[in-house]
Amino acid sequence: MSGKKVLVVDDDVKTVELVKLYLNRDGYRVLTAYDGNNALQMARESRPDLIVLDLMLPGMNGLDVCRTLRKESDVPIIMLTAMTTDDDRLTGLNIGADDYVTKPFSPRELAARVRAVLRRLPGERGPDKIEHGALTVNFLKHEAYLDGRPLNLTPIEFKVLGVLIKEPGRVFSRAQIIEKALGHDFDSFDRTIDVHILKLRRKLEPDPRQPRYIKTIYGAGYKLLETDSDTQP
């Protein structure tokens, strides 16, 4: 991981300096910004490997920064937030954050989250594009297509599909999908995956009741079908 660039964005100077200290110890090159507009500019110009992004920022807030960056790149983003409910957390994840840490936080824990998210960078997470029958997922462009037609997937739907398409035929439990797609192990998110699978099927399947792509393995989880012949839900 040594030498990777991490952009730390927070309007609190002491927080930035503390996070910078711990990340420097791990060998990261740390860039800093203190407002949303400057963060967006630095992300575009310096192309960091990961961004630690506070939610409450002067000017453009963290959610808007994340939304804007997700239209331009798939740079990993760890959100810093004082909001602790599941709905609040899912808001950040739904717009494209890869992980979040709630305030107050341990800088040691944040450094561990940075390491975990960076393990999923290209070169460690698989090919840039995968084709599976009529389904194509382009990880570099963060786009998915079915029969050449673009699928309007949310960031979480894209990540869930990405987990499944990398290993067709493998059964993933809900917890494994959460960990691999989102980097979380929160039990309260467990059934949320069912909702995202349901939405994925509506966009992928001609008949969601007879899926051609994502199959439910009752009591175990989900898998991407290896062929079109296995069509039971």
Helices 155-166 and 192-204: angle between axes, nearest 10 degrees: 80
For residues 189-214, average pLDDT: 83
Residue 45, amino acid: E
Q: Which of 182, 175, 131, 176 is nearest to 156 (CA)?
A: 182
DSSP, residue by residue, 143-207 = EEEETTEEP---HHHHHHHHHHHHSTT--B-HHHHHHHHHS---GGGTTHHHHHHHHHHHHH-SS
Q: Which helix (H) or strand (E) holds 37?
A: helix 36-46
Given this model, what pLDDT does residue 27 score? 87
Residue with tokens 């797609």: 181
- More reliable by pLDDT, 99 or 146: 146
Which token pair is 105? Answer: 């936080």
Given this model, what pLDDT does residue 232 score? 42
Which domains does the chain show, CATH number per domain? 5-118 (3.40.50.2300), 129-224 (1.10.10.10)
Task: Identify the three-state secondary structure at position 110.
Answer: helix
Q: For strands 135-138 and 143-146, give the pairing.
A: antiparallel
| Residues 51-100: tens digit of each pLDDT | 999 988 998 999 899 989 988 888 899 988 876 566 666 676 777 788 88
In this prediction, residue 43 has a pLDDT band, given cuts at 50, 70 and 90, of very high
Q: Please give the mean pLDDT across all residues of the chain.
A: 83
Instruction: Judge whether 52 and 15 are in contact, CB under 8 Å.
Output: no
Length of the chain: 233
Residue 231 has pLDDT above 80, yes or no: no
